[in-house]
Amino acid sequence: MSHVFLYALVGVGLFTLGLYALIVHPHLLRKILAINVMGSGVFLMLVALGRRTPGTLPDPVPHAMAITGIVVAISATALALALMLRVQVETGRAELPEEPLE
């Protein structure tokens, strides 16, 4: 048990936290923030588990995947924000309609 597992568990926590916020909040900007937090949790878990190498050097493959993922995340965020603004122009609100629970 090393600090690697601590960070991996923090990643799990961030993923769960983001998923909760994604489901609960109706506002689209909050949903976008929540997805970003979820993504950060996934990257943290990936890189932390890639650090379990016996030597001093970490595994570079998860690092490369995390860098790629970060750039994809920002482009997806930009597209999501543009969609959100479009939703607001069309409906007047940037929130999903609150459905009554059946």
Find the binding residues for other proteins in span 63-92 (CB under 8 A).
Answer: 63-68, 70-72, 74-79, 81-86, 88-92
Find the binding residues for other proteins in span 2-41 (CB under 8 A).
Answer: 2-10, 12-21, 23-25, 27, 29-30, 32-34, 36-37, 40
The CB-of-63 to other proteins minimum distance in angstroms stands at: 5
Q: Are 50 and 65 in contact (CB under 8 A)?
A: no
99 lines the binding site for other proteins (CB under 8 A): no
The CB-of-18 to other proteins minimum distance in angstroms stands at: 7
The CB-of-35 to other proteins minimum distance in angstroms stands at: 11
The one-letter code for the residue type at 17 is L
Which two tokens mark 86? Answer: 């479009």
CA pseudo-torsion sign 91, 93, 95, 98: negative
Question: Which residue, among 33, 47, 34, 28, has the nearest Cα to 87 in the 3D structure?
Answer: 28
